[in-house]
Structure 1
């Protein structure tokens, strides 16, 4: 009998975000209303304000709320209660290298586009996420998912909701993929986290310069580094190994399409 897959445990910011989303769906906070201050939400759930900020940022990326500096967090729309994309994606049989190939093709071009479109607020949010990861690495804190947050905020910096939704769906697929989770457990060490941190600092530097090709190359190289790390950790003789699907050479040499 085939064993049912159990979805991975949610991060604190995901649980808080889902709870706030449910309250909005239930009508506790109608469109136009303001959510409680970060401090109050943090006290209610017994977490840090950093975790609350991550939860609110996800809701903002989804278009549910609008974070207005110095004013508060306002509800923009009521999300559809019937949204059930997660269940569909958890049942997908895409392999980890197939997922990574899709990310490299898509996110490299998103990074290039974001180099043109990112606002000062987007750049500041990306910088804060990198600073959070630096502190997390220093204290060996693995409770924050700064990697996912960085890529989602970067996709949001394209100012294109369809691109953001596509990246969100890819990460949802990764969260529910057992092989990816197995690989991720190996590459979550301090050494790897420092390596990914350096990659993201290069991506952010290119965005700050409005360097379109530099952003494209920095993202491509980051995901190439992830791919090489996964290849080193993989058993190429395993029946579910899909690394042969991955093409390392960029399709558009020296040119962003």
Structure 2
């Protein structure tokens, strides 16, 4: 029986992925900051919840050691833990900037660095990094978030070449709009707190974002893409998940940037 370790498994895409892998006969190491708050996953056979802070090296070391001891090994690492922000960069607090970079970029790097020696010793392993539609396109008021996802794309592609000689495989999954708890966070933004020179355009962007999330995919849809990447035994690197992602990537690749830029302006109402 194979074992998957999933970061950020307490909710959203991570939790849906944990449930799907378990349903298909895998051992699942579901990691999160506070396992004591999780009740659904702990009831399931072959699922264990572990405390993990992807920014803490000791936490990572303890978690990997416990998972290997409990399940006898790890076959697939799914780097799903991440945070989202939509804000004008100018008014984003420095602490918030450091936080999203540490979770989305450094946290992923930390997990990959920690798992490589184990996979290398076994001469086999698969890392699936969760990127986003934001990893190859850009939208207004998400420059910081886009920066972290573009970083994941670049890091993952570099690792694809770097780790092939060790029989360690790298894949990325790129979800589009997914109806997770992020929807509620965006819905509850106080638009009156924004400076006057951003307020009108941000309200237009917020309206577009809300409409997009309302039409978005269920987390289970993305979980199926993650599972496919884990089991298809293909050398495929990139898994765009959802028609919105595929269309955005197609437009970005076919249109001159001058035209693509106009599409984004029109869509976002800026």
Give the TM-score band, short-chain normalised. Answer: 0.3 to 0.5
Which has more strand, going by share of residues? 2
Whose relative contact order is higher, 1 or 2, with alpha carbons under 8 Å and at least 6 apart? 1
Taking structure 2 as the reference length, the TM-score comes to: 0.33
Which has more helix, going by share of residues? 1
Taking structure 1 as the reference length, the TM-score comes to: 0.34
